[in-house]
Chains A and B, each alone.
Chain A
Amino acid sequence: MKVSMKKMSNTNKLNILLDNKAILIFLLLFIISCFVSPVFLSSRNLLNVIRQISVSAIVGIGFTCIIASANLDLSVGDMIGLLGAEMALLSRAGLPFGLVILIGVLTGAFCGFMNGMIGVSIGLPLFIVTLATGQIYNGITLLITHNSAVTGISPEFKALGQGYLFNIPTPIYIMVGVGIVIYLVLNKTTFGRHIIAIGGNKEAAHVSGIDTKKVTVGVYMLLGVCASVAAVVLTGRANSAQPSAGAGMALDSVAAVVIGGTPLSGGSGKVMGTVIGCLIVGTINNMLNLLGVDSNWQSVAKGLLILIAVSLDVLSDRYFKKRMEKA
């Protein structure tokens, strides 16, 4: 059956604009940056910006699903540290690269499984569970690495983290790949629909026959897999596994997802928005770098950005509610 396109009202147009306000903010920043520094627009600098955000984007993309399901994962940074260390140790021990990656991905899925499983079987809020498991993952990392970086890993890591393909850094391909896969999962599969449903209204989803526990565990496993991919790129970039590689990454991901327009209350997930959220953060950092500003200002800028993005969300919501009541 053919579905006729409905004419869009003005409200709808405005809605779409506000829905994609991350893009607006990004374009604005981009234009400002062009004026502020002549170096900014060079392809080398631009690729550099994208390469720098690739790891946080890979994690952020996975995190989008977590937030879409109205959950949080505070352990993801520590998980990345653990997965990086594990893979580096196995690689140094001489295991073939392919097997190392496979074990890394499975461990990532397993960590996610544990997070989800502990939460749903005991009925604990997942952010508390992941607060705890994060400590555990971090402790294990420090134990197996004896508090120091793991070096002497196979060269394939470096190729993935620092290499180029057709003059474009490999991490960018990996980021785009992860983005496409998660986008498809979230928007085109029944599992994705279930994620959005439990994020929007868990009880209604349960009554509609959705196994909310299974879906919750599934989302955490998905993030675990994303974390393992991020760990590979991160390890390759440093050509070694740093025990503290993932420090602060959980909250950075939340920031990117929120700036990208996915509401913290769940029920919707914008993969593209998250990537743009990362780009915004990356562009600001880059600009401050180019201007030679003290790098500690980056943190201040990120904080302001989060406030602006979230306020815009709340204010536009309120605006539309008012309009609807009038109608």
Chain B
Amino acid sequence: MTQEMSKDYILEMKGISKSFPGVKALSNANLRVKPGEVHALVGENGAGKSTLMNVLLGSIEPNDGEIIYMGKKVLFHSPHEALLNGISMVHQEMSLIPSVSVAENIWMGREPEFTRLGLISEKKRLGRTRALLDKYHINVDPKSIVRTLSIANMQLVEIARAISYNPRILIMDEPTSSLSDREILLLYDIIKDLAKEGTTVMFISHKLDEVFKLCDRITVMRDGSYINDFAADEITKEELIAQIAGRKISEMYPKIPCEIRDTVLEVRNLSHKGLFKDISFRVRSGEILGLFGLVGAGRTETMEGIFGIRSLDGGEIYLDGNKVTIRSPKEAIRHGLAMVTEDRRRNGIISNISVKYNISLANLSRISRGNIWIRKTKENGDTKALAEKLAVKTPSLNQPIGALSGGNQQKAIIARWLYTNPKVLILDEPTRGIDVGSKSEIHRMISALAGQGLAVVMISSECEEIMGISDHVIVFNNGHISGEFDRSEFNAKRLVQSAFDVNFKEVHEGINEENE
């Protein structure tokens, strides 16, 4: 790589670090972007891409590092300030107001541009909107109410709004995820036009084909750090995948070899329209089954379907060989399932009640007489023993669980589920947002539990974690199973490839071609 002077870059981020309580989200991350280029930012979920962009926009304040933008050192304090300085971002989530028109949405907050004597000239605003939409061939009526638009058109309006600020840098976070093929092509044209006009485009995407088609330069991030950047034409897709996946599995993942016995849970052809289709797998006693894939690939939704949190359109569930129907978490628990959910705050912990109450919650019948009267001594004793066994660090079990660190909250939730004596333990992103120390403790715990004969299903977006402790891995892509690997055939590159490719069938064909 050639050494270039910093004046060649419109944007340089150097040594950016950011810690949240217990988690290091960014450590020494770098980014260099030349004016007028289309620059891709790639990496697994949780690699720090969005955090880095949020630091740039000023919605997250970094602990360390500096940002040089147009030759000057800057630190924005809000996305609005960044916007006024020419940095505009299209977020993954919709930020339009559904109940008002396209034109009103696009110029929201900039009404004075169309105002005469305190009144807004609707004609002028519609005209400007139409000119903007026409220029980029976006076929949407400026007068239509946003709510009535298709998701794809909303996304395009969102992009049009970002462009309307005439930014020097336009950041797009997975802009094509909700677009159909036709609109994706339209978006590519828009990006090419913008680049021609001298706008710099930052592009966060999981679709590697798209990245190669569109981008001049690619920055790879992993574990909150900058890994490398490349010109798009000097790297192959395979090399890029290897960069994203990382090389080795660290010592962090202690895998205890244990005997795998009978099948406990088996599912056949599970489907839910629009979320997942034809999902079949089994997990055996003593086995850790890893579910890998990108966020939104259908892993969480499938397991929620099995656990009765959401309904299933079709498919069968077998426990110990017997067919069962599960309509609610209550029934799932009765059948011996347990699920540590992905979003601890949303549906895991009850933050303002004590650690003790949180642990006993899913099996109150065990500490009560006739399922009515709670036996305090039994509850105190049992929860204390479990908390000690799982090394939950808390000043007292009467402490509200919300006051604990993420890692200790997670251990307490695992304790809650172990207290139900499950046969199958489902863990959805069990170490997300958890500090490194607790993380390996939790890995050790999961391994040990499998060793005691539990069947474990672990969803994770971290390739190393999945390969570190799973016996068998299933990869989800777009609601389908796109790959299946036994521990002996684990290969980070192939796992990541199965997870990332737009159409996994093409991947398999691609692999076949390579072999020829």
Interface residues of A (CB under 8 A from B): 1, 3, 6, 9, 188-191, 193-194, 196-197, 200-201, 203-211, 263, 265, 267-268, 324
Contact = CB atoms under 8 A, between A and B. Distances in A.
Given A189-B372, A206-B347, A211-B328, 6 more contacts: A1-B380, A194-B364, A207-B309, A209-B420, A210-B330, A263-B352
Interface in B300-346: 307, 309, 328-330, 332-334, 339, 341, 346
Contacts of A1: 377, 380-381, 384-385
A267 B384 CA distance: 22
A197 B353 contact: yes
6 contacts: A1-B384, A9-B395, A190-B372, A191-B372, A200-B352, A204-B346
B403 A201 contact: no
Interface of B: 307, 309, 328-330, 332-334, 339, 341, 346-353, 357, 361-362, 364-365, 368, 371-374, 376-377, 380-381, 384-385, 395-396, 403, 416, 420
A257 B382 CA distance: 33
A207 B339 contact: yes
Complex A-B, nearest 4 residue pairs according to Cβ-Cβ distance, in ascending order: A1-B381, A200-B350, A203-B347, A208-B362
Contact of A209 (B353, B362, B374): B362
A305 B507 CA distance: 68
A204 B348 contact: yes
B371 A193 contact: no
B10 to A, nearest CB: 37
Contacts, number: 91
Nearest to B343: A203
A324 B395 contact: no
A267 B330 contact: no
B357 A196 contact: yes
A250 B368 CA distance: 34
A9 B357 CA distance: 21
Contacts of B346: 203-204
Contacts of A193: 357, 361, 364, 374
Contacts of B416: 208
Contact of B349 (A9, A188, A204, A268): A204
Contacts of A205: 350, 361
B458 to A, nearest CB: 17
Contacts of B328: 206, 209, 211
A204 B365 contact: no
B357 A209 contact: no
B165 to A, nearest CB: 36
A249 B111 CA distance: 48
A201 B372 contact: no
B353 A207 contact: no
Nearest to A192: B374
A172 B307 CA distance: 49
A313 to B, nearest CB: 12
B384 A201 contact: no
Point out which of B309, B364, B372, B384 has the most chain A C-beta atoms below 10 A from its C-beta. Answer: B364
A276 B351 CA distance: 26
A316 to B, nearest CB: 14
Contacts of B334: 209
A201 B341 contact: no
A250 to B, nearest CB: 25
Contacts of B333: 208-209
A302 B329 CA distance: 44
A3 B384 contact: yes
B382 to A, nearest CB: 8
B384 A208 contact: no
A210 to B, nearest CB: 7
